[in-house]
Homo-oligomer: A and B are copies of this chain.
């Protein structure tokens, strides 16, 4: 059998360590040159395959590929694009096969979350459905930490570290000023559906009285009176109150706090965040001076404060994906399995994609305290190992030196462009 090339692509919201997975895939493939030809990376995810826009990673030096390990975001470009079913859009699948054929692609590595697992699963079925032989392996990635069959998702540990370090630092700021100035600080973090990220910020509290004093989870219906009472009591006790609010914090009826009915001077709905909404509420009801921050992309791009554990795991799932392909696997995902011992350990294990695609893993209720404002010891025990270790990028002139790819495109073989 002629040696096949591999296709690798990044999908969905990027993370601080998705490129570490790319590094794991490419470096491992390079070690098996007699079995795997070239690794072509999709320019902007699966869209790159549809458009026949393939980046030839063999044109990048070993040094550049190694630098991917410490480079945040998606170096090859990512996308938000979900393949429809075969029945709904057969043309897309036919196009993919054309492109794969034209470039002799026999391995498909897709690096993404739940939606992407679905795309990967559909590709894995091409042998059966369309008669095109391909092995598709899903490489897990998502700051949302909501994939099943993996103890945690690469990308999450680094966001967790960022938010816990950030709330710790900002809270020290507020603590030092609260006597005559700001008394309440609110940090808004990601997590529209689940409170994994907000919950991880609880790691900042290492001693009694430490911030965050209040965490707002999407899982716990927001109760304004109870919240304000807690804020007031905290300010009374500690002099200040540091809050971490998930962007998905919501009322009992499912209405997001951020959707506060605010309008601008022209009557447009104001797309305000949770943090300013809470700040205004606190000011109006309790009169405290406040500050708020919205971390947004900073949190998931913050490679400068990545978790070393997260980086290692991101690399490892990339490496394992290639090894699974070499072992003849298809329609699987390498997941992280936590060891049973008291000391944290982890291994990689494969799981079937059909059980993973489109399944969202929610945070267990018992990770959240009874009053709904903090994490339990059980939650802490889950989160803590994931932020262990620092893995600093190299700096030049005070700025991190992230990989800059040449991105040499593979010459197109097909005559007809495909519109996506």
**Hey, which bits of chain A sit against chain B, CB under 8 A?**
10, 13-14, 16, 44-45, 47, 71-81, 161, 164-166, 168-170, 172-177, 179-181, 185, 187, 203-204, 206-207, 260-265, 268, 270-273, 275-276, 279-280, 284, 291-298, 300-305, 307, 384, 387-390, 392, 395-400, 402, 404
CB within 8 A of A292: which of B75, B265, B294, B390? B294
Q: Are A74 and B176 in contact (CB under 8 A)?
A: yes
What's the nearest-Cβ distance from chain B to residue A49, in Å?
13
Which residues from chain B contact A204 at a C-beta distance below 8 Å? 399
A264 touches B264 (CB 8 A): no
Most buried by B among A81, A161, A273, A298: A298
- A101: shortest Cβ distance to chain B, in Å? 24
Closest beta carbon of chain B to A407's beta carbon, Å: 12
Complex Cα gap A79–B204 (Å): 25
Q: Chain B residues near A76 (CB, 8 Å)? A: 176
Contact B73 A181 (CB under 8 A): no
Q: Cβ of B398 and Cβ of A387 under 8 Å apart? A: yes
Q: Which B residues are CB-close (under 8 A) to A398?
A: 161, 164, 203, 307, 384, 387-389
Partner of A280, one of B181, B270, B275, B384: B270
Cα distance A18–B81 in the bound complex, in angstroms: 48
Nearest Cβ on chain B to A113's Cβ, whole angstroms? 14
Contact A78 B293 (CB under 8 A): no
Q: So how many copies of this chain end up in the complex?
A: 2
When the two chains form their complex, are residues B44 and A298 in contact, meaning their CB atoms are under 8 A apart? no
B-chain residues with CB within 8 Å of residue A273 when the two chains form the complex: 276
Contacts A170-B297, A279-B271, A291-B297 given; does A392 touch B390 at CB 8 Å: yes
User: Quick check: A78 and B304 within 8 Å, CB to CB?
Assistant: no
Per CB-CB distance, the 4 closest pairs between chain A and chain B, nearest first, are A74-B176, A387-B398, A293-B296, A73-B172
Q: Which residues of B contact A79 (CB under 8 A)?
A: 177, 179-181
Asked if A175 contacts B73 (CB within 8 A), the reply is yes
CB pairs A–B below 8 angstroms (28 shown): A10-B176, A44-B180, A72-B173, A73-B169, A73-B173, A74-B176, A75-B176, A76-B176, A77-B176, A80-B180, A164-B398, A164-B399, A165-B304, A166-B302, A169-B297, A170-B301, A172-B402, A173-B297, A187-B298, A203-B398, A260-B264, A260-B265, A262-B264, A263-B263, A270-B276, A276-B276, A305-B305, A388-B398
Give Cα distance in the complex from A57 to B104, angstroms: 71
The residue from B168, B173, B292, B298 contacting A166, defined by CB atoms under 8 A apart: B298
Q: Which B residues lie within 8 Å of A279 (CB)?
A: 271
**Which residues on the B side are within 8 Å of A392 (C-beta)?**
390, 392
Partner of A400, one of B168, B176, B270: B168
Least CB distance from A51 to B in Å reads: 10
Q: Which of B161, B264, B293, B404 contacts A207 (CB 8 A)?
A: B404
> Does A78 lie within 8 Å of B272, measured CB to CB?
no
Nearest-CB residue, chain B, relative to A397: B384
Do B265 and A276 touch across chains, with their CB atoms under 8 A apart? no
Q: How far is the CB of A358 from chain B (nearest CB, A)?
A: 20
